[in-house]
Amino acid sequence: MRLYPEEIFDSVEDVPYAREYGRGVRGIIFDIDNTLVPHGAPADGRTEAFFRMLKESGFRTCLISNNNEKRVRPFAERVGAEFTCKAGKPLRKGYLAAMAAMETKKEETLFIGDQILTDVLGANNAGIRSFLVRPVAPETDPFQVRLKRILERPVLFFFRRKTGKTSKNR
């Protein structure tokens, strides 16, 4: 089902990146807000170190956001990642632009985000493997995202029921 992620993790730090590298992943696309930092927060030292580790491990990275360049560019520059803003998630165009920026193919690319109805659906529509992570700070979500999370609950319920896959806190 296009709404199902391949796997669910508590945070981006819990993803087994060495395993994914061994599977041929060379590029990782990340959502920003509530995937990497609380909604609207700037990149911090922890995020910079995380992206440095990914680069040292051989990954290319790209940030994808429906937000504008004013929000996305400074974050991307601080962590040293490519970026695509006003991506139109869940449409495919932003994901395809991210792969072009990283020079990766679909089978070499992984997407990580915190929302099913935009992030996971968009990645799956683009033919990219998708991982879902627990939101960093759901209390910072704008109203429309809070509504989407309510709609996501039955999807998560049936995903867990069908696959037996879950994360500790999601």
Q: Is residue 1 part of a domain?
A: no
Q: State how many domains the chain has.
A: 1
Task: Give domain status of residue 168, yes or no.
Answer: no
Domain of residue 92 covers 7-163
- Kindly report each contact of residues 41-47 with a partner whose C-beta sits within 8 Å and lies 24 or more positions away, as own/partner: 41/140, 42/74, 42/75, 42/78, 43/74, 43/75, 43/78, 43/79, 47/78, 47/79
Residue 144 pLDDT grade (very low, low, confident, very high; cuts 50, 70, 90): confident
Q: For residue 2, is it within any domain?
A: no
Q: Domain holding 40: CATH number?
A: 3.40.50.1000
87 domain-assigned: yes
Q: What is the pLDDT of residue 79?
A: 97
> Would residue 146 count as lying in a domain?
yes
The tens digit of pLDDT for each residue in 44-85 reads 999 999 999 999 999 999 999 999 999 999 999 999 999 999
Its pTM stands at 0.89
Domain membership of residue 26 (yes or no) is yes
**Within a domain: 136:** yes
Mean pLDDT across 136-140: 84
Per-residue confidence (pLDDT) for residue 24, from 0 to 100: 97
Residue 131 within a domain: yes
The residue-averaged pLDDT of 165-169 equals 55
DSSP secondary structure string, 73-124? Answer: HHHHHHHT-EEE-S--TTSSHHHHHHHHHHT--GGGEEEEES-IIIIIHHHH
